[in-house]
Structure 1
Amino acid sequence: MDHEEWSDRQETVSVTVDDNEVDVAYYDSGPTDGHPVVFVHGIPTWSFLWRDVVDAVPDDQRALALDLAGYGNSSRYDGFDRSIRAQEGVLAEFLDTVDAEGPITLVAHDIGGGVALRYAAHNPEQVENLVLSNAVCYDSWPVEFVSNLGLPETADLDDEELEPKLDFAFGDGLYGDAADHEEFVEGMKAPWLAEGGKTALARAAVGTNTNHTTELTYENITAETTLLWGEDDVLQPISYAERLADDVAGDAEVVPLEDAYHWVVEDRPDAYRTELRRVLDNGEV
């Protein structure tokens, strides 16, 4: 499925970020009364990240994958907070608006992992399973590349200047030949190369605030936690997964995926689906 097909399958609801009304685009599949399995992406991605794994959700459960505020096909106008503190509120209101009643399963990557950790720590009774992949936590972030995108000059770049930076982020900078991941790379670049995308990218990058994960009380997280981690990631090393496994109150398991880097969902989709289905089937494959 390419990014245009994914976009065509999305729906939209409105939520509030502080005092700003924003639209949130999302993918929704399965029965509305089924157990909610909610996918949360990171930076600089959007829900298209999950295109090859949402089908791991059993038919009697409900798959929901949202574009965070300021990302993908959600509102990307200027003037509202994109931090994971704000995105935690977006997630909470989104779940309420689409009638996704807990306890839920949260599946999250990168800063989406930070959003999920905050939500699970503040709403432990609402999260049954937590599946985190190469997630920001503690003081593991931001990374230099993302911080640099937060400079005001990013908004003034033209496409020819921005594309090499995105190609580096999604392609040769983090794993082998980007040509092997063309659909992924093109899909991830599309929102940032659209009208208003460069300003949205700069605002998203500047919203990366380490305080929002260093302040968390991780032992408040009671969900069964699976740390499904690309073990070759240099941005969010697997040592952080091991630290999380020690600190959360719920049962926790680190599941390393070999030959997987930061974009673990893209690198090992078949293995990812298998492990996710094991979680959703209560340990059975």
Structure 2
Amino acid sequence: MKILITGATGLIGRALIAQWQDQHQLHILSRNAAKARQILAIDASYYQSVDDIDVNQLDAVVNLAGEPIADKRWTESQKQKICQSRWQLTEALAQKIQHCTTPPKVLINGSAIGFYGRQGSQVVTEEHSSFYPEFSHDICARWENLAQRAASAHTRVCLLRTGIVLSSKGGALSKMLPLFKLGLGGPIGDGQHMMSWIHLDDMVRLIDFLLHRDDLSGPFNATAPRPVSNKQFSQLLAERFGKKAPLTVPAFMLRLAFGEMSDLLLFGQNVQPKRLLDSGFQFHYPQLKEALNALQF
């Protein structure tokens, strides 16, 4: 298949390319095509602008691009960068697909469980219709709406509402590991908020699953079926290194350090991947302990 990937140099993108590079003809769209070519070091077609791509020649588009949401304090300018890096590209891709004579069969588009906003311990599936009005929801809701504009009788759209992606090569864990390896990690706040996560290998597998399932479209919770509390997550991560998790990070310290962005760390969702499970997808790592043990640190 001829597949366009955006966000190819990110954590999920790199893993996806490692899986697909010998199976498909890959096209890479990046803000810096030369840098992407250097980082990925694979034989592919590289583009720096949507305008340079003939979408009629593509079988699929996987749109994962976006400014990292938790890397910096949410100033107004950073919020704009987070939003526009997702919205502008997605709108441009959707328009290109709309005007195709032979459009791609599928657009697999990024999103996040932040779509639901904070939900406490309530179980959340794709059918959930009550959303907490906060920044993470606003980002994802418009992101998904823009992607859905590409949907037609010829192009199905799948939306990846992704949780915390576990990998030894980057992502959220890379920020946690130094303290936990030293035995200085621990829960955040009261530790009761839920964390919905997924092993990187399962993330890649479910994207491939959706690529080939012509009968599937709409939102999919890209999370393992066994979410845990932040306290449980901290304990299991500490155990992975033969340590304990004795320390607690007070909520007020996070708010002082990160402002509004600390809400991502202090609140969570108890997300279930109902549509994936109902469709027959099987997770290799449904349990957090096994997922952490499988990572090579």
TM-score (structure 1 length as normaliser): 0.32
Task: Name which one, 1 or 2, has greater alpha-carbon Rg.
Answer: 2
TM-score (structure 2 length as normaliser): 0.31
